[in-house]
Structure formats: structure tokens, C-alpha cells
């Protein structure tokens, strides 16, 4: 008889794509997912799964190259760097118009009500609005207004929403924590990407931060000068009218790709960048991640799941949404190792 799983999918920006690999591994082993609670990207992936559209969603995100991701960025400078209409519009096309109560399994999306300073659980009503509110990452996506409430990412109060599934009649609770500080032996699989497109994406992210009133420190400016020899020429990058219109500085050569999370000098040596965030956007996102890491530990201690799948937060930056194939593969790998250990202990 199949064991029924109550699945908890945590928040963590782009690392949320790892949830797809985790779900695939859980199903491959014959477990039956009986209910889902999710926050931010966990709410998005969980809602799409509960709607029975995860395969279509995966095919879409894995088909996106850097330029496709850039075209989905609808720049906004009001309460968020992006409106999110293009991304969530495509999700709406995939999922359709559904209410949560019509899903095949019980589902909870967690958001934060800034107006009343409280946690909000979506367990009925419009699925699309629930996912959009839960994933309104502060500084990155604009908030969702619902009446007199301003709703943002649930990770502000509950990045790993275990409580909504505690009363479920499932055999075990599996929680996926995207803000783990351990698991150092895991690395993203290497998947070759066009360098020019990656440089364009990084240039846009930098431009979003540059519009906020936070300047780089002089030491970081020296670091960028040192990287100059590694940057591709403007002729290699070509011209992108869409990006150039949003960011005039994008016509300049973009920064070279990072190696193992740290920039390299012209001599090839790794530079430890301890200067701090490059922009207000980086500062807010890094602060948000520190907060989520601490909160997740409290949630785990208060309601320990039967199985805890830890995805290290260092594997990618919060906003690297173009790394879907790598993160899906990593999620599958970590889930396989974790469930192997769980099953071996019970034999």
C-alpha cells in the first residue's frame, strides 16, 4: 500500500525549481502526495502540481534561454523591481482559471499581510491570486493588493509552512527547506549556456539594483576593473533593443560569469568579495534570505517533519531563475539521497 505524504515546500526564490525534482523523486518511489502547503516558489510549484500541470510547467521553464527570461522581466520601480505580470500571466495560461477548493488534493499557500502584520493562509478561492500573493518577493515583485490588505511573500513570517499539514491524515510529512546552510558537498550540475545571454541577464539584474539609491563601494569598483580583462566585447554581446531601452548601460560589456560563486581576477585567481551587496536590491534580498534561514530553523524545531530535504542556499542566487534544469536535477539528487537514508533506517 502506498504511503501518503504531506508535502511542505519552502520559499527561496529561484531555488524553488528544486521542488520539481523533489516531487519527481517522491513519485518515482511510489509515495502518494496527499496534500501540499507551500510558500513563495513553493506555493507556485505546489499549486501547479495540485492542478495537474507540473509537466507542462517544467517543459516551459526548461525551454527558456537567457533571452527568453529577459523578455519576461517587466521592469517596475514602484514597490518592486518587477511587476510579474508576464511570468504569472504565462502560469495562468498553463494552469487555467481554478479555485483552490477544486484542486485534486488539499492545498495551502502562505502569504504575509503587511497591513495587519499577520500570516495569511489561502485554502480556498482563486489559485492564481494565492500563488501570486505568496510569491510577491519584497524588492523583486510588486505586492498584491486585496481589499485594504497588502500581501507579500509568506517567507517573511513562515518560510517553511509545516503547521498547515500537521492535522492531515497522511503517513508522513516531508518538508523541503531551500535555506539550508549545510550540505556543502552538493553542487549544481553543469549545463552549458550561451555566454552572451548570461551576460545580458546579469546586466539587467545589476541595472535593476542600480536604479535604487545604494551605491557600490570603492573597493568593489576596483574589483570590477580587475574583471575587465575577462569581459566579452560589446561586439560579441550584440545589441538587444529591449534591454537597451530598459538599461542604457547594457550597451557596455557585462561582467564575466562567476566561478563557484566567487569572481575571478584577470590572473585567474579567485577573489573573495567581502565588500557587501552591490545595490539596494542585493541588500534587501540578502537580508531576506538571512531572515528566512533563521525562521526556517524555528519552524523545523517546533514541528519536526518526518523527512527534511535540505537544499543549500549557496547553490544559486535568489534571482537566478534561468537555472531551472540545473536546480530540478539538484532537487532530484538531494531527495534521492535523503529518502535513501530515511528508508534504510526503517528496514
Active site residues: 40, 153
Q: Ramachandran region of residue 50, left (φ > 0), alpha (ψ -120 to 50) or beta?
A: alpha
Contacting residues for 343 by C-beta, under 8 A, at least 6 apart: none
DSSP 303: S
Q: 277 to each of 188, 190, 248, 289, how far by Cα in Å?
A: 23, 26, 22, 13
The answer to whether the beta carbons of residues 109 and 38 sit under 8 Å apart is: yes
Beta bridge partners of 75: 82
The answer to whether the beta carbons of residues 38 and 161 sit under 8 Å apart is: yes
Burial 175-201 (b: 16+ CB within 10 A, else e): bbbbbbeebeebebeeeebeebbbbbb
Amino acid at each position: 500500500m502506498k504511503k501518503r505524504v504531506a508535502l511542505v515546500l519552502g520559499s527561496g526564490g529561484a531555488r524553488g525549481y528544486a521542488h520539481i525534482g523533489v516531487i519527481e523523486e517522491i513519485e518515482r518511489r511510489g509515495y502518494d502526495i496527499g496534500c501540499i502547503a507551500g510558500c513563495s516558489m513553493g506555493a507556485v510549484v505546489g499549486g501547479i502540481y495540485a492542478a495537474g500541470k507540473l509537466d507542462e510547467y517544467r517543459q516551459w521553464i526548461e525551454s527558456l534561454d537567457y533571452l527568453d527570461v529577459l523578455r519576461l522581466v517587466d521592469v517596475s520601480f514602484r514597490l518592486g523591481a518587477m511587476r510579474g505580470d508576464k511570468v504569472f500571466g504565462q502560469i495562468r495560461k498553463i494552469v487555467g482559471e481554478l479555485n483552490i477548493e477544486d484542486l485534486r488534493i488539499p492545498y495551502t499557500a502562505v502569504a504575509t499581510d503587511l497591513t495587519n502584520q499577520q500570516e495569511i493562509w489561502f485554502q480556498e478561492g482563486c489559485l492564481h491570486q494565492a500563488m501570486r500573493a505568496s510569491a510577491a518577493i519584497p524588492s523583486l515583485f510588486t505586492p498584491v493588493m486585496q481589499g485594504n490588505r497588502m500581501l507579500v511573500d509568506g517567507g517573511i513570517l513562515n518560510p517553511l509552512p509545516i503547521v498547515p499539514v500537521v492535522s492531515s491524515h497522511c503517513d508522513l510529512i516531508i518538508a523541503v527547506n531551500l535555506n539550508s546552510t549545510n550540505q556543502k558537498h552538493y553542487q549544481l550540475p553543469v549545463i552549458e549556456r550561451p555566454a552572451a545571454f548570461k551576460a545580458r541577464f546579469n546586466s539587467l539584474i545589476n541595472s535593476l539594483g542600480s536604479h535604487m539609491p545604494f551605491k557600490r563601494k570603492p573597493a568593489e569598483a576596483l574589483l570590477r576593473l580587475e574583471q575587465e580583462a575577462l569581459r566579452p566585447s560589446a561586439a560579441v554581446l550584440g545589441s538587444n533593443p529591449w534591454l537597451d531601452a530598459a538599461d542604457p548601460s547594457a550597451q557596455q560589456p557585462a561582467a564575466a560569469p562567476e566561478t563557484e560563486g566567487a569572481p575571478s581576477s584577470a590572473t585567474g585567481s579567485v577573489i573573495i568579495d567581502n565588500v557587501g551587496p552591490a545595490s539596494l536590491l542585493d541588500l534587501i534580498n540578502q537580508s531576506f534570505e538571512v531572515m528566512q534561514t533563521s525562521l526556517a530553523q524555528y519552524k523545523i524545531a517546533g514541528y519536526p517533519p518526518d523527512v527534511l530535504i535540505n537544499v543549500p542556499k549557496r547553490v544559486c542566487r535568489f534571482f537566478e531563475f534561468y537555472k531551472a534544469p540545473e536546480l530540478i536535477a539538484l532537487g532530484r539528487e538531494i531527495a534521492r539521497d535523503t529518502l535513501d537514508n530515511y528508508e534504510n533506517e526503517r528496514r
